[in-house]
Amino acid sequence: MTPPEPPPGPLDDTSVLDLFERAGALRRGHFKLSSGRHSDTYLQSALVLQWPRLAQALGAALASRRTGTFDVVAAPALGGLMIGHEVARALGVRFVFAERSGGELTMRRGFSVEPGERALVVEDVVTTGGSALETARVLEAGGAVVAGLGAIVDRIPEGTERPAGLTTLVRVDAPAWDDGVCPRCAEGTPLESPGSRRLAR
């Protein structure tokens, strides 16, 4: 299996989306998103991030779009783990993650943040920003200052308020419907739940 090659220059919106398409990570069908809504479009970032060279390039691109200094990068498991680690590598800071226990995100495995540390929260794809904001609250409870949010892909629906301080590499406009008004459900298209937010812990 041969990975898609990143472009020789900086990654822009078009080249990021092209990497997803060439890696088979831009999927069409009937999906239940982490937000609970349904969509006919899903971005499976793991299919791009499985290639360390691409993960490193995406992490460096996302880090380059941030200004200011950070002491730590944090991500929600599982979706933000690989890209969060690569952003931390590019920034030269440590990386921690939050994971679900009893349905709530929490820091485990001995991870902690220090009071006053400046943190950047990183996700792979944001649809509502729920996981990133939940991670931010965990960090703030530990005394850290959340100084920004980052993601590879912004697929927040038009007209929906975007989380403050969010920086992304590419925006993808994709429909999303509440359960009960989804046209794919009406067509009887089988539903997939490829996200990780509701995985048992």
What ranges do the domains of the chain cover?
24-187
Lowest mean pLDDT segment, chosen from 78-87, 100-109, 129-138, 192-201: 192-201
Question: pTM, whole model, 2 decimals?
Answer: 0.85
User: Residue 7 pLDDT more than 80?
Assistant: no
Averaged pLDDT of the chain = 90
Of the given ranges (153-157, 184-188, 191-195), which has the lowest mean pLDDT?
191-195
For domain 24-187, which CATH number applies: 1.20.1250.20, 3.40.50.2300, 3.20.20.140, 3.40.50.2020?
3.40.50.2020
| Residue 196: predicted pLDDT | 57
* pLDDT given for residue 41 in this prediction: 87
pLDDT at 201 (0 to 100): 42
The span from the CA of 4 to the CA of 173, in Å, is: 23
Helices (H), the chain: 13-22, 46-49, 52-64, 81-91, 130-141, 183-187
20-63 pLDDT, tens per residue? 998 989 888 899 987 788 988 888 899 999 999 999 999 999 99
pLDDT of amino acid 200:
43
Cα–Cα distance for residue pair 7/49, rounded to 1 Å: 16
